[in-house]
């Protein structure tokens, strides 16, 4: 079964990458200037004996390699440390944030991919024409647009004209027992961040699809298909698109990393209570364990999304499936 | 062998650059002329170059056309809308925003160019060595490349940047050292084809060493692609820098569009409606990034005929 071995190999790469990420994460935060105990307690009245005791209690007197394996084991158990600023276990803070981020990021990604595929195909098919020029220019522009600035412009417009909520996820102090009212409230709050994130991700997806399809359209078998007298639609749907799907899937996986940056900036601007906003707050509070955890969560989700893309790739590519 | 190969390769590249700078001016002039021809030959890259040149001109003229110092505050005129005295208005400390926006151009250009220099150097050497030697060296270098390709770069920059401290040099290094994987990949795949060409074998049979073949024979062939990619990399670096500064990673005392937007955001100007505070830095950032994007995309079209839109079905 070559497909199974393909997936196994990808899975092995995933595990290896995860291991390296945790190692990098561990090492980076050891290089940090300052005493971790003082950073956590921020209390100059601690006596040397008390500090020594805390060092021992947190295992900071053990050799580094042992600390790394304890760290790894704790990560697996869901013990992600204590936030400097909130003084709470990080998992407690993180879990609701992850849900909130997914509520924003998944619809935005799906929407931008769908829109990107449609306009990318149209642009490639009508290449050289006015439509192509327009689509290319708009997507290049959206791709170059600073996310946080677009969000800010939306906030400005909304406050003066649109009257949509510009921050947070729900109204405070409102009874949310009615599920329809709850969804309505969520919907008005998500509109602007969703629009921002969709627009900035849309540009790169369109360019990706257009590029992949242009590559395929210059192949000889397309010329043959046209020479056979097939209709444009048939050439596109039967010969061009299936072959353009593969590079599209792998390039989409790569651009997920960029989409993540967009979501951090969008959440920050709109005060959306997700992982991205958490990272922004962690930077301003110098809350390193929280920053570390936020980085880890985002990286792991990008890695998992890539693994998912690999599985889809294997299913789409007959060379992987049937060899 | 891997370590020696890498160090040797870096030295070789430096020497190759030195040689072409010092001795063979003819080659350099020829290279510049062909690069210029490529730029002028494509509409997108022509527009891109024009935009970039306009920004460079403004950056050079900044001290002469700005009536104030970018650090000068005036408590008596804070958050003034645009007027003849303050073309772009003033910020919440009474700084002249026109001056700040003009001085910001050079920060972005410096970050973009120097970070890209680092990116190109590492990316080219890794790509050449990986593609040319193959085997274990290739395997190890490509694992590192994949790692950097898959891990969201700005996230890594946030972590490294906020730990290393925030001088401009650190930010340039962080951006440069985390962005080279696409260039390395492109070059490696080209080298894999080029190294099988007969002239490489001919050269080797005449006693040419690995380094000579890599930098004298293979590099000039892949150079145009490096050039096109480096323009996209400049756009990327400028964008990443602005995003990092906006998020509070990086030195907020450097005058840059990211800084202006950071303070515009933290002082609540978006909600309060001080449009002159946040509109110009965003538009100027967009324009410069778009300029480099257009130049890069245009050059890609020139060097990769498949992307040209003239083929008809």
pLDDT per residue over B186-211, tens digit each?
888 888 888 888 888 888 888 878 88
The whole-angstrom distance between residue A204's C-alpha and the CA centroid of its chain comes to 14
Burial of B123 (0-12, 13-18, 19+ CB in 10 A): buried
Average pLDDT in chain B: 79
> Which of A138, A141, A148 would you mutate first to test chain B, the one with the most B CBs within 10 A?
A148
Q: From the list A132, A269, A299, which residue is nearest B265 (CB)?
A: A269
Token code pair at residue A236: 């596109």
Q: Residue A147 and residue B7: Cα distance in Å, rounded?
A: 39
Residue A23 near residue A296 (C-beta atoms within 8 A): no
Token code pair at residue A31: 């290089």
Chain B residues lying within 8 Å of A32, measured CB to CB: 163
What local confidence, expressed as pLDDT, does residue B28 receive? 60
Cβ of A39 under 8 Å from any chain B Cβ?
Answer: no
A160: DSSP letter: I
Max Cα–Cα distance, chain B, nearest Å? 78
Per-position b or e across A224-243, b if 16+ CB within 10 A of its CB: ebbeeeeeeeebbeebbbeb
What local confidence, expressed as pLDDT, does residue B20 receive? 45
A219: DSSP letter: S
**Partner-chain contact A144 B239, CB within 8 Å:** yes
What local confidence, expressed as pLDDT, does residue B3 receive? 45
User: Three-state SS for B90?
Assistant: strand
Q: Residue A239 and residue A233: Cα distance in Å, rounded?
A: 10
So what's the ipTM on this one? 0.79
Residue A136 near residue A225 (C-beta atoms within 8 A): no
Shortest distance, CA B114 to any CA of chain A (angstroms) = 20
Token code pair at residue A161: 């004209």
Q: Residue A103 and residue A168: Cα distance in Å, rounded?
A: 13
The whole-angstrom distance between residue B175's C-alpha and the CA centroid of its chain comes to 9
Give mean pLDDT, residues A79-84: 78
pLDDT, tens only, A258-316: 778 888 888 888 888 888 888 888 887 777 888 888 888 888 888 888 888 888 877 87
Average pLDDT in chain A: 81
Shortest distance, CA A140 to any CA of chain B (angstroms) = 7
Q: Residue A217 and residue A209: Cα distance in Å, rounded?
A: 12
Q: From the list B150, B297, B311, which residue is nearest A257 (CB)?
A: B150
What local confidence, expressed as pLDDT, does residue B313 receive? 34
CA–CA distances in Å: residue A38 to residues A25, A31, A192, B133, B267: 20, 16, 41, 50, 31
Burial of A312 (0-12, 13-18, 19+ CB in 10 A): middle
Chain A residues lying within 8 Å of B295, measured CB to CB: none
Helix (H) or strand (E) holding A30: helix A2-30
For chain A, helix (H) and strand (E) counts, in that order, are 14, 0
Cβ of A21 under 8 Å from any chain B Cβ?
Answer: yes
Cβ of A145 under 8 Å from any chain B Cβ?
Answer: yes
Token code pair at residue B51: 């935009």
**Partner-chain contact A261 B162, CB within 8 Å:** no
What local confidence, expressed as pLDDT, does residue A322 receive? 59
Q: Point out the residues of chain B with pLDDT beneath 50.
A: 1-3, 19-23, 309-313
Nearest chain A residue to B290 by CA: give it.
Answer: A144
What local confidence, expressed as pLDDT, does residue B7 receive? 55
Q: Residue A278 and residue A297: Cα distance in Å, rounded?
A: 11
Residue A296 near residue A229 (C-beta atoms within 8 A): no
What local confidence, expressed as pLDDT, does residue A93 receive? 84
Residue A74 near residue A296 (C-beta atoms within 8 A): no
pTM over 0.90: no
Residue A205 near residue A116 (C-beta atoms within 8 A): yes
What local confidence, expressed as pLDDT, does residue B118 receive? 93
Query: To 10 degrees, the CA torsion angle through A17, A19, A22, A27?
Result: -100
Q: Residue A168 and residue A193: Cα distance in Å, rounded?
A: 10
What local confidence, expressed as pLDDT, does residue B114 receive? 93
The whole-angstrom distance between residue A151's C-alpha and the CA centroid of its chain comes to 17
Q: From the list A140, A257, A306, which residue is nearest B293 (CB)?
A: A140
Residue A136 near residue A189 (C-beta atoms within 8 A): no
What local confidence, expressed as pLDDT, does residue B11 receive? 57
Helix (H) or strand (E) holding A89: none
pLDDT, tens only, A27-58: 877 776 667 777 777 777 778 788 788 777 77
Token code pair at residue B210: 């690995």
Burial of B10 (0-12, 13-18, 19+ CB in 10 A): middle
Backbone angles phi, psi at B298, to 5 degrees: -60, -45
Q: Residue A89 and residue A59: Cα distance in Å, rounded?
A: 17
Backbone angles phi, psi at A273, to 5 degrees: -75, 60
**Partner-chain contact A299 B151, CB within 8 Å:** yes
Shortest distance, CA A178 to any CA of chain B (angstroms) = 30
**What is the number of CB-based contacts under 8 A between chain A and chain B?**
148
pLDDT, tens only, A82-130: 777 787 888 888 888 888 888 888 888 888 888 888 888 888 888 778 8
B206: CB partners within 8 A, 6+ apart: none
Token code pair at residue A245: 């799907």
What local confidence, expressed as pLDDT, does residue A106 receive? 86
Residue B290 near residue B51 (C-beta atoms within 8 A): yes
């Amino acid at each position: 079964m070559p497909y199974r071995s393909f997936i196994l190999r990808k899975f092995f790469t995933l595990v290896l990458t995860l291991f390296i990420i945790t190692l990098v994460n561990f090492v980076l935060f050891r290089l940090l200037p300052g005493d971790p105990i003082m950073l956590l307690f921020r209390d100059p009245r601690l006596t040397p004996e008390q500090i020594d005791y805390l060092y021992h209690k947190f295992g900071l007197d053990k050799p580094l390699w042992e600390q790394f394996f304890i760290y790894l084991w704790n990560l697996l158990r869901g013990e992600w440390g204590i936030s400097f600023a909130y003084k709470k276990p990080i998992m407690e803070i993180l879990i609701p944030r992850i849900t909130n981020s997914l509520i924003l990021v998944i619809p935005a990604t799906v929407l931008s991919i769908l829109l990107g595929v449609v306009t990318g195909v149209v642009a490639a098919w009508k290449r050289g024409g006015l439509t192509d020029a327009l689509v290319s220019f708009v997507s290049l522009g959206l791709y170059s647009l600073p996310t946080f600035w677009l969000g800010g412009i939306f906030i400005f417009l909304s406050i003066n004209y649109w009257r949509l909520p510009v921050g947070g996820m729900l109204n405070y102090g409102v009874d949310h027992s009615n599920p329809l009212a709850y969804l309505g409230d969520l919907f008005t709050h998500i509109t602007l961040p969703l629009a921002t994130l969709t627009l900035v991700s849309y540009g790169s997806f369109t360019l990706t699809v257009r590029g992949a399809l242009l590559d395929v359209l210059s192949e000889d078998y397309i010329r043959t298909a046209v020479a056979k007298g097939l209709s444009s639609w048939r050439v596109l749907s039967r010969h061009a698109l299936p072959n353009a799907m593969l590079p599209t899937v792998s390039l989409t996986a790569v651009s997920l990393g960029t989409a993540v940056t967009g979501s951090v900036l969008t959440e920050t601007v709109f005060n959306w209570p997700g992982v991205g906003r958490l990272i922004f707050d962690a930077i301003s509070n110098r809350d390193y364990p929280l920053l570390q955890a936020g980085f880890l969560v985002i990286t792991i989700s990008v890695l998992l999304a890539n693994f998912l893309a690999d599985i889809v790739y294997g299913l789409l590519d007959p060379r992987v499936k049937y060899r | 062998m891997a370590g020696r190969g890498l160090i040797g390769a870096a030295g070789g590249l430096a020497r190759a650059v030195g040689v072409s700078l010092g001795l063979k001016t003819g080659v350099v002039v020829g290279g510049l002329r062909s690069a210029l021809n490529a730029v002028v030959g494509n509409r997108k890259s022509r527009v891109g170059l024009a935009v970039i040149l306009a920004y460079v001109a403004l950056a050079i003229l900044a001290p002469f056309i700005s009536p104030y110092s970018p650090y000068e505050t005036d408590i008596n005129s804070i958050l003034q809308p645009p007027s003849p005295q303050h073309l772009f208005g003033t910020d919440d400390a009474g700084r002249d925003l026109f001056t700040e926006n003009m001085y910001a151009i050079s920060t972005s250009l410096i970050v973009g160019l120097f970070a890209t220099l680092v990116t190109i150097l590492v990316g080219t050497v890794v790509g050449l060595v990986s593609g040319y030697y193959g085997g274990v060296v290739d395997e190890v270098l490509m694992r590192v490349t994949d790692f950097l390709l898959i891990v969201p770069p700005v996230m890594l920059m946030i972590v490294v940047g906020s730990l290393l401290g925030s001088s401009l040099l650190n930010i340039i290094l962080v951006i440069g050292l985390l962005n080279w994987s696409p260039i390395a990949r492109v070059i490696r795949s080209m080298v894999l084809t080029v190294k099988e060409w007969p002239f490489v074998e001919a050269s080797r049979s005449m006693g040419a060493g690995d380094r000579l073949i890599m930098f004298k024979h293979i590099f000039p062939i892949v150079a145009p692609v490096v050039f096109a990619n480096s323009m996209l990399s400049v756009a990327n670096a400028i964008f990443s820098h602005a995003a990092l500064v906006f998020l509070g990673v990086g030195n907020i005392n450097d005058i840059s569009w990211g800084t202006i937007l950071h303070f515009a955001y933290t002082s609540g100007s978006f909600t309060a409606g001080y449009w002159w505070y946040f509109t110009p830095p965003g538009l100027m950032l967009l324009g410069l990034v778009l300029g480099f994007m257009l130049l890069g995309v245009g050059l890609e079209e020139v060097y990769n005929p498949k992307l040209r839109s003239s083929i008809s079905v």
